[in-house]
Amino acid sequence: MQTNGERTESLPADRPAQRSAGVQAAVLAGLLAASFVVAFLGGLASTSNVDGWYSTASKAPWTPPNWVFGPVWTVLYILMAVAAWLVWRKGGPASRNFLKLYWVQLVLNLCWTPLFFALYPAFGAPALWLGFVDIAALAVVLVLLIRKAFPVSRLAGVLLLPYLAWVGYASTLNLWAALNN
């Protein structure tokens, strides 16, 4: 293709997008910020309830101490943001499809904490079942997300595996709570 006597080439759809280091850093910062906004909002929904109803609730025998959740989620939020960034850097339709699903999982992640923790005092066990439906949907979306990540960025897919493992584990804790409270 020529314009004004200069030769330009159009990029194939599967070629990684060329973006400046500043744009790449800004997108990574934005993805990390989105993750930590979700974490912050989840913290607001859980803080008073962890020491409230949850402290006396029947919990699965494999439930870790409360202090474990913060560090685990911090690492997972960083991993998911970096995975999304790695896929975004590649550009193209596969990247865009992944990112749409990425935002869906982030919304499901955001919804779980208020459903499980904040609604329980008002609604009891049905709130825990709503939480379970949400976390089960999140697990399904994560499987799809990982399947979309691997062809674009193998590393991104690998970075999401601990998140899927933790959500699977957390699902068992949620199910126990729903069945026993």
CB 125 within 8 A of CB 63: no
170, two tokens: 């957390």
* DSSP code of residue 71: H
In the predicted structure, residue 41 carries a pLDDT above the cut 90: yes
Cα–Cα separations (whole angstroms), residue 128 to 36, 160, 167? 24, 25, 15
pLDDT digits 0-9 by tens, 52-103:
899 999 999 999 999 999 999 999 999 999 999 999 999 999 999 999 999 9
CB 34 within 8 A of CB 42: no
Of the candidates 93, 88, 90, the one whose C-alpha atom is nearest the C-alpha of residue 34 is 88
In the predicted structure, residue 137 carries a pLDDT above the cut 90: yes
137 C-beta neighbours (distance < 10 Å), count: 15
In the predicted structure, residue 173 carries a pLDDT above the cut 90: yes
Report all structural domains of the chain as residue ranges with CATH numbers, in order of start: 20-180 (1.20.1260.100)
State which H helix or E strand residue 110 sits in. helix 93-113
What's the pLDDT score for residue 47?
Answer: 83
In the predicted structure, residue 11 carries a pLDDT above the cut 70: no
At 16, the pLDDT band (50, 70, 90 cuts) reads: low
At 1, the pLDDT band (50, 70, 90 cuts) reads: very low
What's the pLDDT score for residue 17?
Answer: 60
The pTM of this model reads 0.87
In the predicted structure, residue 5 carries a pLDDT above the cut 90: no
Rounded Cα distance, 91 and 108, in Å: 24
CA dihedral of residues 101, 103, 108, 109 (deg, nearest 10): 120
Average pLDDT, the chain: 91
pLDDT digits 0-9 by tens, 149-169:
999 999 999 999 999 999 999
Rounded Cα distance, 30 and 114, in Å: 24
